[in-house]
Amino acid sequence: MEFPTSQPPHVVAPNTVARFMRIVIYALLPTMAVHVVFFGPGLLIQSALAIAAALAAEALALRLRKKPLRQYLTDGTAVITALLLALCLPPLAPWWLVVSGTAFAILLAKHAFGGLGMNIFNPAMVGYAVLLVSFPAQLLTWLPPDVPELRTTELSFWQTLTTILTGHLPDAFRWDAITSPTPLDALRTNLAMGMTMQEAHASPIFGGFGGRGWEWINLATLIGGIALLALRIIRWQIPVAMLGSLVVCASIMYAFDPGAYAGPVFHVTSGASMLGAFFIATDPVSAATSDRGRLIYASGIGVLTYTIRTWGGYPDGVAFAVLLMNVAVPLIDRYTIPRIYGHAERP
């Protein structure tokens, strides 16, 4: 009797890239839910716009590169880029901001480098960085969190939608009345004005341990991140090293002068720390390869994040920290090749 043949191994685990990315998207949902609770439905609209833009850009790039559309459009990587970018942008940002940022991320940061698996930089962070330096004003239109002391006006879903699509608030509202800086931004401004940490923390924008609203978002991200660790989608090296180095830097400076520097708990629960540790820095394509390499890579991100937040020109440093360490990855990889069985030294 004759049989067809195939190459070993004849069994493979039913792992696919799509499954991998799908689980990451599910793990991101708690973050998005808490975000909507505190900052309104803007995120949902931004996400929808971002996903649409990402898929359109991806389809265009695939067509130009003559690659099969269905296989790559359904792998979920474009959707993750879109969601991460949407989470970084203010909920009331005009539609063209998120659309151009996502398109740039997909077309230039991903496909111009060779598509899936070939990008050196984290696409979402490239998109965000481009928007930040090109349109700094639009990126300051954050809402205050939905708590009685801070939120004085309420925008309905339709009002949010029209604001985003037209770039103008409804007549009854004014930008300077409804927007508010993020906790990190406020801290920076207050410290620059000469306040001490304690005085700055007295402002209602700061919650129990982090920024108001943001601390809960970070907590939700932590839960999602732990789920990813448990499901072995990501490994512990990157989150632990990034948060760990952030904690170490913050602790050192806080011990040195508690009045001028924010403490470790604040740093870890503010801004994009958790999102960066579990979802952004863990992007496998742009991260280092070996376990030791990942520890170095993520420690670098933590240190840079702290540095940019404290002494740099931007309120949150995660994006630039990630991009800077992406540049260092080939060097890190070259010197952290693990020792092979039977060899005395690392290659």
Partner 1 sequence: MLQGNSARGGLRLEAHKERSTREPIAQASAPALAVLPLDQHAGHPAMPIVAIGDRVAIGQAIARPTGDVSAWLHAPVSGEVVGIEPRPSVTRDCMPAPSIVIASDARETRHPPERTIQDFLAVDPLELREWIGRGGIVGLGGAAFPISAKLATGAQAAELALLINGAECEPYISCDEMLMRERADDVLHGARILMHALQAREGIIALEDDAPLAAESLRAALAKIEDDRIRIQIVPTIYPSGGERQLIASVFGREVPFAGLPPDIGILCHNVSTAAAVARWVRDGEPVVSRVVTITGDGVERARNLEARLGTPVAQLIAECAGYTPRVERLLMGGTMMGMPLSTDEVAVVKGTNCIVAASAMDLQPRQPEMPCIRCGNCSEVCPAYLLPQQLHLNARAMDLAGLERYGLMDCIECGCCDYVCPSQIPLVARFREAKPRLAEHLRARDDARDSRLRYESRAARLQRLEAEQRARLEEKRRQARRKES
Interacting residues toward partner 1 by CB under 8 A: 1-17, 19-20, 71-72, 75, 77, 115-118, 235, 284-285, 287, 289-290, 337-344, 347
Give the separation between CA 274 and CA 220, rounded to whole angstroms.
9
Give min distance, CB of 305 to partner 1, in A.
Answer: 22
Give min distance, CB of 20 to partner 1, in A.
Answer: 5
Which amino acid belongs to residue 85?
L
Give the separation between CA 271 and CA 182, rounded to whole angstroms.
8
Quote the DSSP letter at residue 340. Answer: P
Give min distance, CB of 346 to partner 1, in A.
Answer: 10
Residue from 98, 100, 99, 105 nearest 77 by CA: 105
Q: How would you write 93-128 as a 3-class SS string?
A: CCHHHHHHHHHHHHHHHHHHHCCCCCCCCCHHHHHH
Give the separation between CA 192 and CA 332, rounded to whole angstroms.
36
The smaller minimum CB distance to partner 1, of residues 117 and 258, is found at 117
Query: CB 285: neighbour CB atoms within 10 A?
Result: 17
Give min distance, CB of 326 to partner 1, in A.
Answer: 12
Give min distance, CB of 187 to partner 1, in A.
Answer: 36
The smaller minimum CB distance to partner 1, of residues 5 and 198, is found at 5
The smaller minimum CB distance to partner 1, of residues 13 and 193, is found at 13
In degrees and rounded to multiples of 5, residue 301 shows phi and psi of -65, -45
Query: CB 8: neighbour CB atoms within 10 A?
Result: 5
Give the separation between CA 186 and CA 201, rounded to whole angstroms.
10
- Sequence-distant (≥ 6) Cβ neighbours of residue 52 within 8 angstroms: 99
Q: Which tokens is 86 given?
A: 């949407």
The smaller minimum CB distance to partner 1, of residues 257 and 291, is found at 291
The smaller minimum CB distance to partner 1, of residues 114 and 136, is found at 114
The smaller minimum CB distance to partner 1, of residues 15 and 198, is found at 15
Give min distance, CB of 283 to partner 1, in A.
Answer: 9
The smaller minimum CB distance to partner 1, of residues 179 and 290, is found at 290
Give min distance, CB of 30 to partner 1, in A.
Answer: 23
